[in-house]
Amino acid sequence: MENMETNISIKNLDLSFGAVDVLKNLNLDIGQGEFLVLLGSSGCGKSTLLNCIAGLLEITDGQIFIGGRNVTWEEPSKRGIGMVFQSYALYPQMTVEGNLTFGLKNAKVPKAEIEERVARAAKILQIEPLLKRKPAALSGGQRQRVAIGRALVRDVDVFLFDEPLSNLDAKLRADLRVEIKQLHQTLANTMIYVTHDQVEAMTLADRIAIMRGGLILQLGSPDEIYSRPANKYVAEFIGSPSMNFFEGHIDDSGFATQGLHVPLQGYDFAGPRPQGPAWLGIRPEHIASGEVASAHPVQMTGKAELIEPLGSDTLVRSRVGDRQIWLRMDGQIKPRPGDELPIGFDPAMASLFDKDSEERL
Amino acid sequence: MADLSTNPAHRAGDRTEAGPRGRRPKRAFSGRNIMIYGTLIVVALYYLLPLYVMVVTSLKGMPEIRLGNIFSPPMEITFAPWKKAWAEACTGLNCDGLSRGFGNSIKIMVPSVILSIVIASLNGYALANWKFKGADIFFTILIIGAFIPYQVMLYPIVILLREAGLYGSLTGLIIVHTIFGMPILTLLFRNYFTSVPEELFKAARVDGAGFWGIYFRIMLPMSLPIFVVAMILQVTGIWNDFLFGVVYTRPENYPMTVQLNNIVNSVQGVKEYNVNMAATLLTGLVPLIIYFISGKLFVRGIAAGAVKG
């Protein structure tokens, strides 16, 4: 993304409602054609940020540039954006066609061009048979398709998605997720996508911005966020089940925690090798079990306590000493509660965080 | 028993046992039903009986009324009292019945209803969707207005109207009705527009619709039910108004309610109960018709508006 031309630039953005600061001095540059996902739990300010970019919320301070133009004081309709909402927000009294053309009619687009654009959007989204229907006569998936179509006909450079799939059931969500990704590959325009669902974030994003308390904690590719989380919050937030954490101490020989010593030869430190109290985190999928465990530098024996079969994988909560450790196994292995499991992991796959600042070491 | 397969007892492979099965039978005379229907019947009688007496009496001649059987149906149906109430009864100097008051009431009601609904819906829309500076204070002041007794404001408004040169005119009364309808109607519209999903409003803004565009193209078509409710409130309220009518107009502009009072309470001559009853029914007819017509419209409005955003 580095050599990509910047399309959206947010500079020193502040937003406060009365005494509550929702966004604090936020800076973000989004490249032309990039798919950026804003990810975070509810109340982290991700939707607020999207509304600021759209111009639906008046910002307290800072600037917003879209396509090189300062749009800080522009109306939403003049910013060159299309927006898709969680509740679809289709105009109930208009047909699908009316919904698609409403914005174009407001912008006084010539009739022939309106028809052309609607036909094109309807073809891309396969909603041609629905054009004469009212939103009430559509299913959830169809409604969201129409909502995307409403952004599509605007022929804009930037698409904003505000949790567009949250109201759909699991199967439809997965289908539409693929369609949105396909759409992005076809149109190649900039998309900003707000979600609290990490699967959506990982699968769709070129880059993910993880937000908390109005701040961006980490901005990076899904792979970076997954493998090298910048702090303990990000590490815990991404991945399901969550990363296993060990509280311990780093010294010259490695990471020492109660009943376990982890050599840190393979670990890629973010800075100079530190000393002192720290967290060691390892993802359940990076813990090997069974015979292969003996090949790993760190080895333990765990006792299976709780089994969650998922079909493709099996999640196991095991007990090592007085610790609970989650691990992910192949779905073909079917342990039973009480089984003794040899487990092991490679410290190179682990993450270390400072005990106090919780920043990556 | 033409088709055995539809009878559950004969379904193939029936595994049910003796005892309760399927839907639980409902008893027609359960304690709950007796309470509900009993109360409903008593209340209905309480309201319908006076109406019955009025209708029956208005269709009788005076000799028959003097017999004193107020519940008995008329032996000889006559529409003369209705005609007299409408066109001949005397109020003050005029002897043209209620027809003059009816005309006045229409002339007062129609503009007041339209004006107050237009202004209040715009107020409510602005308060709900375009949070302007001081919106909350404005709204609070408006709501307080709803709790100030009318009597307090009667005389100040007389002075205001006099100074504006509108005292005694229909225009003055229309303005008074419009203003007094504001608090409750604004509250009504504001609450309704607040319940419209905010994202719909945002989507319209992204689509380039402005204040009026969103009001006319998005909000208005979605809000038929609340407009019907507001219309019912205003029509009945303004039609039934007596106080403002008698205070702010001159006799030739008196609304129907004031004229009805003058007919019924006139002291000279014989009390013509049948004419009084007919006059009362005539006056009550407009709100009654509104209820009947818009009741249906109301339900249809709700059904049409019941679309998930």
ipTM of the complex as predicted:
0.86
Interface test with A, best of B200, B206, B307 (most A CBs within 10 A): B206
pTM for this predicted structure = 0.82
* Range A6-236 has CATH code 3.20.20.140: no
How does pLDDT run across B191-248, given as a tens digit for each residue?
889 888 899 999 999 999 999 999 999 999 988 888 888 888 899 899 999 999 999 9
A positions 107-136 inside 8 Å of B (CB): 107, 134-136
Helix B224-240 vs helix B99-129: crossing angle, to nearest 10: 140
A36 to A3, A194, A267, B252: CA distances (angstroms): 16, 9, 29, 74
* Residue contact B202–A90, C-beta within 8 A: no
CATH of domain B99-305: 1.10.3720.10
Q: Residue A64: beta bridge partners?
A: A10
How does pLDDT run across B89-147, given as a tens digit for each residue?
877 677 788 888 899 999 999 999 999 999 999 999 999 998 888 888 999 998 888 88
| pLDDT at site B309 | 34
Nearest CA in chain A to B309: A89
What is the percent of chain A where pLDDT is above 70? 99
Helix B256-264 vs helix B99-129: crossing angle, to nearest 10: 140
- Who among A81, A87, A135 is closest to B206 (CB)? A81
* Residue contact A150–B307, C-beta within 8 A: no
Q: Which residue has the higher pLDDT, A56 or A321?
A: A56
Cα-flanking dihedrals φ and ψ of residue A271, to 5°? Answer: -135, -155
Q: Per-domain residue ranges for chain B?
A: 31-78, 99-305
Interface test with B, best of A48, A66, A77, A133 (most B CBs within 10 A): A77
Task: State the pLDDT confidence band at A226, using cuts at 50, 70 and 90.
Answer: very high
Task: State the pLDDT confidence band at B4, using cuts at 50, 70 and 90.
Answer: very low
Q: Per-domain residue ranges for chain A?
A: 6-236, 240-354
Residues of A in contact with B207 (CB under 8 A): 77, 102-103, 106, 150, 154
| pLDDT at site B9 | 55
* Run of H or E including B225: helix B224-240
What is the percent of chain B where pLDDT is above 70? 91
Burial letters for B152-165: b for 16+ Cβ neighbours within 10 Å, e otherwise? eeeeebeeebeeee
Rounded to an integer, the average pLDDT of A246-265 is 88
Query: Positive or negative CA dihedral for A127, A129, A132, A135?
Result: negative
B202 interface with A at CB cutoff 8 Å: yes
How does pLDDT run across A142-178, given as a tens digit for each residue?
999 999 999 999 989 999 999 999 988 989 999 999 9
- Who among B197, B199, B206 is closest to A76 (CB)? B206
Cα-flanking dihedrals φ and ψ of residue A287, to 5°? Answer: -100, 120
A positions 151-180 inside 8 Å of B (CB): 154, 162
pLDDT at B190 over 50: yes
Whether residue A37 contacts residue A209, with contact meaning beta carbons closer than 8 Å, is answered with yes
How does pLDDT run across B282-309, given as a tens digit for each residue?
999 888 888 888 777 666 655 544 443 3
A91 interface with B at CB cutoff 8 Å: yes
* Residue contact A102–B207, C-beta within 8 A: yes
User: For residues A135 and A141, what is the distance between their CA atoms, to the nearest angstrom?
Assistant: 11
Place of tokens 């691990």: A327
* Run of H or E including B33: helix B31-58
How many other CB atoms sit within 10 Å of the CB of residue A253?
Answer: 10
Q: Which fold has domain A240-354?
A: OB fold (Dihydrolipoamide Acetyltransferase, E2P) (2.40.50)
